[in-house]
Structure formats: C-alpha cells, structure tokens
Amino acid sequence: MVTLNSSKKVLITLTLPALLLMGNPATGQQPAQLLGAACTAVTDSPVREPGTDRTFVLDYPCDLQPGEEVTIVLNLHGGGSSERYQRPYFPAWELKEKYRLVIATPHSPARRWREEDDQYLHNVVNAVYRAVGEDNVRAFWLVGHSQGGMTSRRIVCTDFFADKVDGFVSLSGGRLGGAPQRSPGAGRPAQANAAPAATSATPATPALAAATAPAGDPSCDFSHIYATGEYEIVALPDSSALAQKYQCDARVRREDVIDTEAGRTHDSGSQNPGTREWGLLPRPGTAQVYEYPNCAEGRVIADVVRMDKGHTEGLEPRIVETIVGMMTR
C-alpha cells in the first residue's frame, strides 16, 4: 500500500502504475499516461478506483509531460444525474491541452451525493494527486452543478479538502457571499406524459435536482465563481460578503461573452413541457460576467449570469473558457 497526500491520510491500493510513459523513448519527450486511462481527443472511458471498486472519468492533456504543472478539477454532477451528463454540461475537457487541466468526473450510484460517497471522492483525488505528483499540482478546484455544487459547498472546508482546494465553481449550485432569491418558477416541471426517448444529440439522463442553499458560508479560504441561468433567479446581488472578506475592489462588469455555438447537452426528459426556469434546448447565447478585482491573496470572486438560460442547458464553449481562464490565472 502507498500513503497518499492528505492532512488525514487515506490508504488505497492502485492496481495499475499511477503514471506510465508511452511513445518513442528516443524523442526524450514521452507523454504521460495517467492511471491507465488512454488519452484521446474525446474520451469518456472509465477509470476504476480500487478502494471502492467504483469508476470515474479522467481527462488530461494528451501531451502531458512527467513533472509538468497542472490544475486539477473535481467535476461533480447534480442530483438525479451522472458523470455522462456532467462531462458535456461543463466540457472543460475541451480545454485540457490549452489550460493544462486534469479533470476527474466521478459518479454517485445514488445519483446524488451523500456523506457515504466522501471516501470515494477522497480516493479519486488522492489517486489523481499521486498520478501527477503532489509537487506538480498548480491548483485544485471543485466544480459542481446543482446538488453537486451544494456538495462542493459541504465538503470544501472538511479536513480532507480544506488544505487542497484553491477554488470552487458553483454551477447553479448556490452562491456564496450572499445568495440570490430563486425564481418563483424554479424547479423541475411536471411532465404531461412519459419523457421522450433520448437521441444522440440529447444523451439520456434523469432530471437534475435543483439546489437549495444552506445557511452560512464555509469558513476556510478559497476563490469562488458562481454561474447561473438568468431565469433561475430573481436578480443577482450587487455585493458579495466573500469580496469583502478578501478586500476586493468594487464589482466591475466585464465584457459580455457571446457564444454563437450551443452547449452540448440539456435535460431531454423534462421538455413536455419544458420551462425557461428549468431549462430548454441548448442554444447560443450571451453571458454577463461580473468580477470583484484585486482580491487579497490573489483570490478570484466572480459571478456569471447566462442570459435567456435556465438550470439545465449545458454551458456554451466561450463561457466555459471564460470560467476556466479565471480558474487558471
């Protein structure tokens, strides 16, 4: 057995070498292979986590070099969903080469995150840390949609994550520093009859459970990016307690992000009828980006409002890159 990085040590057994080399040894520039996961431009092949015998999807740069610095992302799906939905919902894997991302997208068999899943998440993170090397982790971010965002909020300051996490992206999963009022029409719409069959353009997934924010913000230190659909909330707050905590400058509105391409997924099982609050079909759009600049300790505090969108439409490519760009400054 090997002891992996953690303030509370977690022991797992790896059945494959954590980091393998592939390619022509004569080049001296052999790309790394992580945890036995073959790297292709588009892959969602599962990696088995032997401590719990559960799987997760691992994306990493196909030209990753041993010893290279990377940003690790733990990408959590929402309630009623799965890794097969979350990966196209927030497709940061499309930017893994450009921004040097290693992204683990796990799955809860209960289709919602519970405390009994925490050990599995610890094991996934430890396995990825071991594979890339602790000294090569430039930053670590939690990303979660809906109930996955609320789970990120629950775990971010736990003993295991508090000394690892640099930031938390909440995708319709609750805003820290002052929550907006939910739209009166928020929530999954009742369907007139059976959900329509999924097609290749609308991958099968149960409806995602909407998030309800708990009282009180986590007390440890990390950056925070909140993204929401315009129709999910009544209005975005114009201040942030987190921005005050980190002595950020007054909020500024950045240039709008205009996407001419639609996102990759949506809740195909909730379109009979669909509602704008819950989410309709993927489509291009505009996102408003608000940031509190010059925060202490280099923290990033920002809000993103996707106009004419609800809870479940997958994020469009340019706004994904805008968020990833803030994560990797």
The pLDDT of residue 32 = 73
Please report, for the domain that includes residue 130, its CATH number: 3.40.50
Residue 195 lies in a domain: no
Residue 197 lies in a domain: no
In residues, how long is the chain?
A: 329
Question: In terms of residue numbers, what domain contains 292?
Answer: 2-19+29-185+202-327
The pLDDT of residue 7 = 34
Residue 191 lies in a domain: no
Token digits for 152? Answer: 């990120």
The pLDDT of residue 287 = 98
What residues contact 27, with CB distance under 8 A and at least 6 apart?
none
How many folded domains does the chain comprise?
Answer: 1
Q: Which residues of the chain have pLDDT under 50?
A: 1-17, 19-27, 199-204, 213
C-alpha–C-alpha distance, residues 160 and 7, integer Å: 6
The pLDDT of residue 38 = 78
Nearest to 235, CA basis, from 316, 179, 291, 301 = 179
The pLDDT of residue 150 = 97
Q: 210-222: string of b/e by CB count within 10 Å (b at 16+)? A: bbebeeebbeeeb
pTM beyond 0.75, yes or no:
yes
C-alpha–C-alpha distance, residues 113 and 92, integer Å: 21
